[in-house]
A and B are shown apart, each in its own frame.
Chain A
Amino acid sequence: MESVEVRLEHLTKEYNNSFVAVDNVTLTVGAGELLALLGPSGCGKTTCLRMIAGLVDPTSGEIVIGGKPITKTPVHRRNMGMLFQNYALFPHMTVAENVAFGLEMRKFSRSEREDKVRKALDLVKLGHLADRIPSQLSGGQQQRVALARALVIEPSMLLLDEPLGALDKSLREQMQLEIRHLQQRLGLTTIMVTHDQDEALTMADQIAVMRAGQMEQIASATEIYQRPATQFVAGFIGASNFFEAEEVSRDGRRAQLVTTSGIPLDVTNMRLVTKRVMVTIRPEAITVRPLGAEDPVAAPNTAVAVVEQVVYRGFMLHYYLRMDDGTEVIAYRQTQTEGWGPVSAVGDRVRISWDADSNHVVPLVAEAAAA
């Protein structure tokens, strides 16, 4: 199977000339890559996927696959494999008939069909269930049949519409790895829609975060987690602490900032030109220590807070803290971590601190909206 590059150019979908579901989206998925469209429900990610499949007509823009524009090609000639959230298996056909459907439409002979169906079912380890009907299968098995049905037609690309949403957690994680493995082995360019950030981080080469029809950021998993472009991305993927801050001095990329509540911050990567910014700090970057008598006052990147709640999450402890000015802070601590000192309890006054490298600046929301 030859891998193809997929490009969306200024793709827009307007409903009834008023509601803009997808607003001028441009992105490129490299050949053989998996891109996850991630965002809250109603952000336009599913509409985007359906436009690529041909199930929704774009208002404007172009979809280019392997260099060929296909925006005007009807659905049934696009040769795409699509997986639906509820599997969408044909209930009146057996597993084998379901998988053979696409081959029948492509006018393969009976013997070729049988051969390809067997191979496709073996690929998803379901060869023994060929004669069952879908309702006799478990959710995981049904999604595998759907996968076999989508792959058997040797599609030019794969579209996944929240395909694992209906499965329970452990099965979902297993299927994520399985689909990812198959996708990489076949070199199949794939676009996946999900609202589950873990799923996106686990499976995707590139994550495209959408919000209200617009693209917030497209980047690799590490990039998007460590250097979110906007406050929305920082809050949507993983948890973040936010501090509104103003620049005091700047020396190249290094800068001294002070938050609205007066905490001085050292920033090593001041990538914005604006003086007022939002600083985001990941909860796992924050260290919590009991407040000592010799405590240094007003050093940069530290603050005093009160423990409001401690949640035990297995390998992690989540600390919900409140600073003296009322700002809430979340800190994660690995259960076995050394050097955090004694475990703090609810009501304790603690000192929180973090590295200058952990301060990540994003535009203030008001300014982002104006831009």
Chain B
Amino acid sequence: MKVMDTETGKIPGTAGAVTRDTPGGWLRRQVVGSPNWMILPLLIFLTVFFFMPAIKLMLFSVMTQDPQGRIGTPLTLSHYVRFFQVSLYTDVLWTTIRISIITSVIAAILAYPVAIVLVRGNIMVTRIVTLIIIAPLAVSVVVRAYGWQLILGNGPTGLLNYVLLNLGLISEPLALLFSPVAVVVGSLHIFFPMMVLPLASALGKIDPNLEQAGRTLGAPAWKVFLRITLPLSLPGLVAGVTLVFSLSAGAYVIPALIGGPSSQMLGNMVEQQIIAVYDWPFGATIATILVLIVLAINALSMRLLGGRRIREIQK
């Protein structure tokens, strides 16, 4: 308070006295005083290389392309109409949403025990588990996708099939590769850290005494989890699900390499339309729909996180 007074030239104790604003004072307070300007370089970079191309692409989706390939007026919504009228495209939309939901739900279920071990386990276990989770991030998605090709390979020579056949667990090789299952498995592997890390961070903020209080009040361990741990970890769960859903929905490499024709996703269709068909406006339409889905999921999660009870948890 006192600092403010000297800055505006107001002498404390002389209310109503002349207020002299020193020249450049405003600028100093706004720019020098706050570190906000430090994000300027990034902002410029993003504007030129991300926001502008993205906006341009979205504009393409309401434009027409003439036979020479020039994109321009008249403006039209016909690409969107076409997208939702042709079952081939809506099928891909549903495949994308289905695979993303299944991936995030399975990731959440698998991530809870891992995150709990990360937070409550002893230091050695924590370190090893962290390493197992983080290490795959060091390997390119493409390399990992080819790895999954070897493991899931159809026919008796695929690694998984080979093992299962030799163990006598199956009599016929499974057709895993080039199926939605393969895409879910691959996406899970790649996006799992995005679920575990926010979840572990949220679980780490829960006071262990709360769980112990729940136990002394008569709740068995599973009820303590449902009534105390789960609701209190919701911020992490919502963040993780949002991340994994968004990343899975936008996936391109995984469905392209191990998905096969039955599990192509929106990302692959964008590529087809733009590279193979050379239909920029329709490719842009699909891309825009993908962006809208991801934005909608993010908006929903922001809303959930903004709820009163969740705000209380985060305090």
Contact = CB atoms under 8 A, between A and B. Distances in A.
Partners in one complex: yes
Interface of A: 53-55, 74-82, 84, 86, 88-92, 101-102, 105-106, 133, 135, 146, 149-150, 153, 159
Nearest to A81: B216
Given A76-B216, A86-B207, A91-B315, 5 more contacts: A54-B216, A55-B216, A89-B213, A90-B214, A149-B217
Contacts of A75: 212, 215-216
Counting chain A CB atoms within 10 Å of each CB, which of B217, B220, B227, B231 scores highest? Answer: B217
B238 interface: no
29 contacts: A53-B216, A55-B216, A75-B215, A75-B216, A76-B216, A76-B217, A76-B218, A76-B220, A79-B218, A81-B216, A82-B212, A82-B216, A86-B207, A88-B207, A88-B210, A88-B212, A89-B213, A90-B210, A90-B228, A101-B214, A101-B217, A101-B227, A105-B217, A105-B223, A106-B218, A133-B312, A135-B312, A135-B315, A153-B217
Contacts of B227: 101
B124 to A, nearest CB: 13
B231 A88 contact: no
A92 B209 contact: no
B309 interface: yes
Given A86-B207, A92-B232, A76 B219 contact: yes
Contacts of A74: 220
Contacts of B228: 90
Interface in B273-315: 309, 312-313, 315
Nearest to A79: B218
A223 B210 CA distance: 37
Interface of B, secondary structure class, is: helix
A53 B213 CA distance: 10
A133 B310 CA distance: 12
B150 to A, nearest CB: 43
Interface of B: 207, 209-210, 212-221, 223, 227-228, 231-232, 309, 312-313, 315
A53 B214 CA distance: 12
A149 B219 CA distance: 13
Counting chain A CB atoms within 10 Å of each CB, which of B215, B218, B315 scores highest? Answer: B218
B233 to A, nearest CB: 11
A88 B315 CA distance: 14
Given A84-B209, A90-B228, A135-B315, A105 B219 contact: yes
B215 A55 contact: yes
B228 to A, nearest CB: 6
B313 A102 contact: no
B130 to A, nearest CB: 23
The 3 A-B residue pairs whose C-beta atoms are closest, nearest first, are: A105-B218, A102-B217, A88-B213
A82 B213 contact: yes
Counting chain B CB atoms within 10 Å of each CB, which of A53, A55, A92 scores highest? Answer: A92
Nearest to B206: A91
Contacts of A159: 216
A282 B216 CA distance: 42
A153 B218 contact: yes
Contacts of B210: 88, 90-91
A100 to B, nearest CB: 10
Contacts of A78: 216
Nearest to B224: A76
A150 B217 CA distance: 7
A74 B222 CA distance: 13
A91 B215 contact: no
Contact of A80 (B214, B216, B219, B232): B216
A78 B215 CA distance: 10
Contacts of A82: 212-213, 216
A291 to B, nearest CB: 55
B219 A92 contact: no
Nearest to A105: B218
Contacts of B218: 76-77, 79, 102, 105-106, 153
B313 A101 contact: no
